[in-house]
Structure 1
Amino acid sequence: MRRILAGLAAALALTGASVAAPVDTGHLEAELVAAASGVTPGGSVRIALRQKIDDGWHTYWRNPGDSGEATRLAFTLPGGWSASPFTWPTPRRLPVGPLVNYGYEGEVLLPMTLTAPAGAKVGETVSLRGKADFLVCEEICIPESAELSLEVPVVAGPAPADPRWGPAIATALAAAPKPARLAAAYQPAGATLTLAVAGAPLQGADGAGAYFFPATPGMIDHAAVQAIERGPQGLTLTLTPGDDFKAAAAPPALEGVLSVGGRAYEIAAAAGPAPAGAGGLGPPPRAAAPGGLGLPLALAFAVLGGLVLNLMPCVFPILAMKAASLVGHGREARAARLQGLAFGAGVLATFVLLAGALIALKAAGAAVGWGFQLQSPPVVAGLALLMLAVALNLSGVFEVGASLQGAGSDLAARGGAAGAFFTGALAVVVATPCTAPFMAPALGWALVQPPAASLAVFLALGAGFAAPFVALAFAPGLLARLPKPGPWMDAFRKALAFPMYAAAAWLVWVLAQQAGPDGLGRVLGAGVILAAAAWLYGAAQRRLLAGGRPAAPAIASALFAVVALAAALWPAYAAPPLAGTARASAKVPFEPYSAERLTALRAEGRPVFVNFTAAWCVSCQVNERVALSGPKVAQALGANNVAYLKADWTRKDAVIAAELARHGRAGVPLYLVYRPGAAEPQILPNILTEGAVVRALEASRS
């Protein structure tokens, strides 16, 4: 009898589980399939709910995201039989207007485990019945359902794998998120939430494209950008808390799926400090350095960028100070060489300090880039006062060390090298609002590398920036052509004050964009007080030269200077609200940038032009007036239905910083043109012309 039953079981095994015909629900086909041709008593077999979804439509993950509903399956099973919940594959992000949902497109298998009771009789066939409910969406969502069935034989021994569904289910299970030995922790950080994950599976991972899918809705803002920070043992994601997270007490664990590097891991992050090795290396190198830019090419780009930086408009005022220092030496080659070396040392030292600050801030998790110091209103106010003080000095209101009337060896001996060092340092500080050609990819690469490589790139940039002035100082033929020092130099010096006044005025304008009318009034008042301090100091100097006592005006000058600095730097500047609506009054109308708005416009199939800019970026402002504000650009935008978004980085913005890093940039300007259907945008040059912009906009509709 047992042999007969075994023979019948073998025959059933060869026949396999009986699969009913797929059910067409309207916008997908659904069926139950099995990985093997039978199940043993007390054993189990993998089965799956298969969906073949119509093109352009999708169904949902266990957390559907901002809208939608997860697929459900209700079984009717014989007594003693059981089926596990779905093993959910890693979902895809599905942007719909300003929302982001999580789900599946095309064909998807949702595996389960079917377990037979120990008393199941060999030779019988169990009929599985289940009702599946789907929400299937395109531009509209339609609830659909299917009555499904699957016949599974009970066999005496291991059943052969189904040749079609066995491998398919095994592949789905292999790709599904897995529990892993990962340490995970989350921490609220103001308006954001950091999720730090570290462990052996993530060691050395570049983190490109990493994304956290929360297990339950409402924990995070699904549409917000998830900024990525690499670490030697893991990564840190900056998330935006959702309404449920804000409204309720912090959850004991933030659960979900971390997708990174083509793999996915189930994680449960507890509240607490980040595990060691989860950050400190900057954004992913693939995102920050497209095209595989390496150290040699980055160094070459940095040197070229430094050379070109001398020609950028933000450096023009300092060119006056350089010219004055060399002319002051006339034909004295030795003094000129000393000044050239001192200027170069000042440039390199300041680049090293900037690099160190950037590296330290990046390691601390700050979203900063080239020109980061000008995002701080107190720094802008301090620089404006410094430029004003330099201009007043050049105008003869007061003297620092020797005056230019005593030019020649006396000037060099009395501190010409120190002045040149200061000039080099100041040149670097005021050069940071500009990003020259070749600089952008070099800096974008440098800021996601280990500290040694980052420092090397910044030194190369400094070397390129200092090279023209140092070479001029060491060129005897050129020095011999310089005019001899004389009384004419006093007038020349005073004329050179006006570019410095212009620089101070520009910085005051930048501060007004950052801090509004109140900030403008503060810095103007501080400037008046500083001018009084400079005049009193000059009066003290003149009294000393006349043989009088300079104590009273000198003390008054020091007090005025302290008051000016206090007025400019303290208390903290209040930020004016940014415009939240489209700027219809602008010559070329635009909308404020947000990742959600960009996603919505692209979902509509519209071309999009994104301008990453800042008020303190001189290159940006020049491009704005020369290439982006004319009627031809406005006409090209309208004729090609191009949406214009402006990402203003005048004040710190972690989302904009992360987006810049994703495109391999450490600062502004950056200009992107998104064509409908294209995965990546076209990156326009840093220096624009109106014709180049119009051509890019006209090509965007194709």
Structure 2
Amino acid sequence: MTPRLAGLILALLVLIAPAARAAPVDTGHLKAELIAQTQAIAPGQTIQVALRQQIDKGWHTYWRNPGDSGEATKIAWTLPPGWSAGDFVWQPPEPQPAGPLVSYGYSGEVILPMTLTAPADAPVGQPVTLRAAAAFLVCEEICIPEDALLELTLPVQAQAAQPSGRWAGPIARALEAAPRRADLAAVFENSDQGLRLAITGAVLAGANLAGSYFFPFDGAVIDHAAPQSIDRGPQGLTLGLTASYAFQMPEPPQIMAGVLKAGDAYYEIEAQAGPLPAEAAGLGPPATRGGGLSAAGLGLPLAMVFAVLGGLILNLMPCVFPILAMKAASLAGHAHEAKAARGQGLAFLAGVLATFLTLAGVLIIAQAAGAAVGWGFQLQSPPVVAALALLMLAVALNLSGVFEIGTSLQGVGSGLAGRGGLAGAFFVGVLAVVVAAPCTAPFMAPALGWALTQNAASSLLVFAALGLGFAAPFVAVSFAPGLLARLPRPGPWMDHLRKVLAFPMYGAAAWLLWVLTLQAGPMAMARLLAAAIVLALAAWLFGLSQVRSGRLALRGGAAVLAILAVVAVLFPAYQGAALPGGESSGAVAELPYEPYSAERLAELRAQGAPVFVNFTAAWCVTCQVNEQVALARQGVAESLASTGAVYLKGDWTRKDDVIAAELARHGRAGVPLYLVYDTRGSEPVILPQILTEGLVVRALEAAAG
């Protein structure tokens, strides 16, 4: 037989030899098997094999450091002479909370790769059978040790095998998902401030670090069940940990190795004891993931889309209802004049955009100067609230017919009606934003939270998009002749409509009076009521001057009285309201609560109690509607009692830098903000801006576990 013929026969034998094969073993609560990334192996070749576990639903196995309880999966090979296998390439673990303990492990399917090397003299053409004994601790509410004797048969061929077959892709993905080493510097320090781990590196600068977590290789260095706080820095992050008994030894650890979960990426790190770098902290926690939308990960295009949607929805919020009267009145007068109606719509749009951009500019400048202000800041000022209350009263008196501005309804916006009523429509847009914008609609919160952390140009674009969304319905109607044509022709009905629409404006004035009382106390209320009487007298005198002689004297007296009324509410400075027992001002609620403080929240979380945090304000009508519709309900009260959850309320009615900073940490620029902390020390769940009783109850029950 010639050498060429012998080689051909050998190649044919290899081709018809069986491919790699193994049989799964059912251990009781999981199925285990050995799998390979190739269909064969060559002498001297190193390939990837893996232990695959398909774990029953509700059960889990353990990582290399099982945490507070459990035992890591093990494998012991029985290999022919010259063959060798490496250690597991461990996959990122999942925290497995169980009561007061936290373990680390896996559920569902997990693939643990290993390297397998054949000896250089492995006989070609003969399959090799590799055997291993695997040991698992499989747990649900109980834990059961289970074992499997596994086999993997591989053909040995002359040429190096390439990845192929059913398991090539899954093993490759497992290798890719495994924690990797990166150019990271890690330092830890155990001091009176606790155990802190600082990690810096280019891959962390500017990354989304929400949900970051440290899984140590050594089970004795940290308290696994204690929450891990996150403080971002320009070049990384610092994790606040709780030291375990290893640090109570005469020689505490000098190295702390493990896996860092940084956002969605996993890195293997080895930290040295030493001073912490300044660039790893100082920017506060990252924006939080949860049930509500977050500012984390938003870019300019998506933020603008969210802003437009938020502006549209803002038209449906309760705080906008009084302004709808002014919009309706301004349109009714031009229902059958298409050109004038379009002018009204564009003037309203201009007023809305100008005001949104002005407020945004003030916010940007104030934040650049170091002030802790957020969306709705204009209603945190008692003089502004009082002046707006007088303005609402003046508008209502005009609608009621006490005095007239111009000859049509175009002046109802403010008394600033100009030619064609465009100035009035512009001012309606201004007033709508000033009063309505402090309410945060869905989609607004993440958009504004993102905008207020960006450069000025990006921020202004997002606020402009918000204004476009807010003005869009009114502008669309003003450009829709078919809709306007459905209104009756001008006639006596318009005067009746005008007087009916005065009452929402009286209601808005009363609401602002209530807000002022909560901000600055009973004396502020008395001052505003006195100013309101003076302003009403001024309006009556002005109206009288329009129908009687002595017009100049009457108007002069009206002007003096109006100025006195405004001065009375602007000066002198308001004093803070005296609230008994340090209770938070806010909508009346039947639920027992404690005032919010960062210290109290940290204390409750350390105790493992579920916590419901409500950041609210008296001037936020959405907040007050949620209080009555969703929070002040028997179901919520019973859920708080049954779960042991503690209700903390943060009141932002008056300016509060602590609350402003907390809102910013969660990617928000205004209220409402609802956070639910669970018993496991996880990041809080952010609830939507519009609550229901059932939604709150379900969130509390989930937090209690």
TM superposition score category, shorter chain reference:
0.5 to 0.7
CA deviation string 1:195-216 (max 9, x = no partner): xxxxxxx5xxxx7xx24xxxxx
- Partner in structure 2 of residue 340 of structure 1: 345
- Partner in structure 2 of residue 105 of structure 1: 243
Amino acid at match of 2:567: A
CA deviation string 1:357-416 (max 9, x = no partner): 111111111111111110111110011011001001111111222234999xxx998441
Query: Is residue 687 of structure 2 the alignment partner of residue 658 of structure 1?
Result: no
Partner Cα separation in structure 1 for residue 426 and residue 482 of structure 2: 24
Partner Cα separation in structure 1 for residue 550 and residue 519 of structure 2: 44
Q: Pairwise mapping of residues 239-318 of structure 1 onto structure 2 (< 5 A)?
A: 290-318=295-323
- Partner in structure 1 of residue 560 of structure 2: 559
Q: Pairwise mapping of residues 115-154 of structure 1 onto structure 2 (< 5 A)?
A: none
Partner Cα separation in structure 1 for residue 533 and residue 255 of structure 2: 82
- Partner in structure 1 of residue 437 of structure 2: 432
CA deviation string 1:47-103 (max 9, x = no partner): xxxxxxxx99xxx97862599xxxxxxxxxxxxxxxxxxxxx9xx9x999xxxx999
Partner Cα separation in structure 2 for residue 511 and residue 320 of structure 1: 23
- Partner in structure 1 of residue 387 of structure 2: 382
Amino acid at match of 1:363: A
Q: Closer, same or farther in 2 for the Cα pair 1:684/1:166, shift >3 Å?
A: closer
- Partner in structure 2 of residue 573 of structure 1: 574
5+ long unaligned stretches in structure 1: 1-54, 68-88, 110-135, 137-144, 150-163, 181-201, 212-226, 229-282
Query: Is residue 176 of structure 2 the alignment partner of residue 176 of structure 1?
Result: no
- Partner in structure 1 of residue 600 of structure 2: 597
Deviates more, 1:479-488 or 1:376-385: 479-488
CA deviation string 1:402-460 (max 9, x = no partner): 234999xxx99844111110111111111123111111110111111100010000000
Q: Closer, same or farther in 2 for the Cα pair 1:604/1:103, shift >3 Å?
A: closer
CA contact (8 A) 1:405 1:489 kept: no
SS at match of 2:676: strand
Partner Cα separation in structure 2 for residue 587 and residue 434 of structure 1: 23
- Partner in structure 1 of residue 204 of structure 2: none
Partner Cα separation in structure 2 for residue 694 and residue 284 of structure 1: 27
- Partner in structure 1 of residue 525 of structure 2: 520
Among candidates 472, 477, 481, match of residue 486 of structure 2: 481
Among candidates 629, 646, 660, match of residue 626 of structure 1: 629
Partner Cα separation in structure 2 for residue 177 and residue 290 of structure 1: 32
CA deviation string 1:137-165 (max 9, x = no partner): xxxxxxxx95x89xxxxxxxxxxxxxx98
SS at match of 1:529: helix
Q: Pairwise mapping of residues 44-59 of structure 1 onto structure 2 (< 5 A)?
A: none
Query: Is residue 354 of structure 2 the alignment partner of residue 359 of structure 1?
Result: no
Q: CA deviation at 1:107?
A: 7.9
Provide the alpha-carbon RMSD of the alignment.
3.6
CA deviation string 1:570-620 (max 9, x = no partner): 11111024454679x951100100000011111111100001100000000
Query: Is residue 511 of structure 2 the alignment partner of residue 506 of structure 1?
Result: yes
CA deviation string 1:272-326 (max 9, x = no partner): xxxxxxxxxxx97789955411111111100001011111111111111111111
Partner Cα separation in structure 2 for residue 658 and residue 401 of structure 1: 47
CA contact (8 A) 2:340 2:420 kept: no
CA contact (8 A) 1:64 1:102 kept: no
Partner Cα separation in structure 2 for residue 498 and residue 537 of structure 1: 21
Partner Cα separation in structure 1 for residue 509 and residue 486 of structure 2: 33
CA deviation string 1:10-63 (max 9, x = no partner): xxxxxxxxxxxxxxxxxxxxxxxxxxxxxxxxxxxxxxxxxxxxx99xxx9786
Partner Cα separation in structure 2 for residue 660 and residue 405 of structure 1: 40
Partner Cα separation in structure 2 for residue 442 and residue 470 of structure 1: 23
Percent identity of equivalent pairs:
64
Q: Closer, same or farther in 2 for the Cα pair 1:605/1:393, shift >3 Å?
A: same
Q: Closer, same or farther in 2 for the Cα pair 1:286/1:684, shift >3 Å?
A: closer
SS at match of 2:514: helix
Partner Cα separation in structure 2 for residue 455 and residue 285 of structure 1: 21
CA contact (8 A) 1:609 1:674 kept: yes
Partner Cα separation in structure 1 for residue 342 and residue 240 of structure 2: 65
Q: Closer, same or farther in 2 for the Cα pair 1:521/1:581, shift >3 Å?
A: closer
Partner Cα separation in structure 2 for residue 413 and residue 602 of structure 1: 59
Query: Is residue 569 of structure 2 the alignment partner of residue 441 of structure 1?
Result: no
Partner Cα separation in structure 2 for residue 312 and residue 289 of structure 1: 20
CA contact (8 A) 2:626 2:690 kept: yes
SS at match of 2:592: coil
Amino acid at match of 1:589: P
Partner Cα separation in structure 2 for residue 458 and residue 533 of structure 1: 37
Amino acid at match of 1:64: D
Partner Cα separation in structure 1 for residue 502 and residue 673 of structure 2: 33
Amino acid at match of 2:512: L
5+ long unaligned stretches in structure 2: 1-100, 103-187, 196-220, 229-238, 258-268
Partner Cα separation in structure 1 for residue 438 and residue 276 of structure 2: 47
CA contact (8 A) 1:286 1:292 kept: no
SS at match of 2:515: helix
Q: Pairwise mapping of residues 400-479 of structure 1 onto structure 2 (< 5 A)?
A: 400-404=405-409, 414-479=419-484
Q: Closer, same or farther in 2 for the Cα pair 1:598/1:333, shift >3 Å?
A: same
SS at match of 1:542: coil
Q: Closer, same or farther in 2 for the Cα pair 1:481/1:167, shift >3 Å?
A: closer
- Partner in structure 2 of residue 616 of structure 1: 619
Q: CA deviation at 1:696?
A: 1.1
SS at match of 1:399: coil
CA contact (8 A) 1:373 1:379 kept: yes
Partner Cα separation in structure 2 for residue 406 and residue 503 of structure 1: 19
- Partner in structure 1 of residue 48 of structure 2: none
Partner Cα separation in structure 2 for residue 598 and residue 538 of structure 1: 56
SS at match of 2:674: strand
TM-score by length of 1: 0.61
- Partner in structure 1 of residue 192 of structure 2: 64
CA deviation string 1:341-369 (max 9, x = no partner): 11111111111101101111111111111
Q: Closer, same or farther in 2 for the Cα pair 1:295/1:404, shift >3 Å?
A: closer
CA contact (8 A) 1:327 1:483 kept: no
Query: Is residue 663 of structure 2 the alignment partner of residue 684 of structure 1?
Result: no
Partner Cα separation in structure 2 for residue 177 and residue 418 of structure 1: 63
Partner Cα separation in structure 2 for residue 375 and residue 406 of structure 1: 29
Q: CA deviation at 1:695?
A: 1.2
Among candidates 368, 372, 377, match of residue 377 of structure 2: 372
Amino acid at match of 1:345: A
Q: CA deviation at 1:174?
A: 5.7
SS at match of 2:614: strand
Q: CA deviation at 1:549?
A: 3.1
Partner Cα separation in structure 2 for residue 600 and residue 165 of structure 1: 30
Partner Cα separation in structure 2 for residue 307 and residue 640 of structure 1: 37
Q: Closer, same or farther in 2 for the Cα pair 1:431/1:586, shift >3 Å?
A: closer
Deviates more, 1:457-466 or 1:322-331: 322-331
SS at match of 1:683: strand
Q: Closer, same or farther in 2 for the Cα pair 1:413/1:330, shift >3 Å?
A: farther
Q: CA deviation at 1:567?
A: 1.1
Query: Is residue 327 of structure 2 the alignment partner of residue 322 of structure 1?
Result: yes
Amino acid at match of 1:648: D
- Partner in structure 2 of residue 695 of structure 1: 698
Partner Cα separation in structure 2 for residue 379 and residue 582 of structure 1: 24
CA contact (8 A) 1:306 1:439 kept: yes
Amino acid at match of 2:515: V
Q: Closer, same or farther in 2 for the Cα pair 1:470/1:582, shift >3 Å?
A: closer
Q: Closer, same or farther in 2 for the Cα pair 1:467/1:107, shift >3 Å?
A: same
Amino acid at match of 1:338: G
Partner Cα separation in structure 1 for residue 599 and residue 673 of structure 2: 19
Amino acid at match of 1:528: I
CA contact (8 A) 1:441 1:665 kept: yes
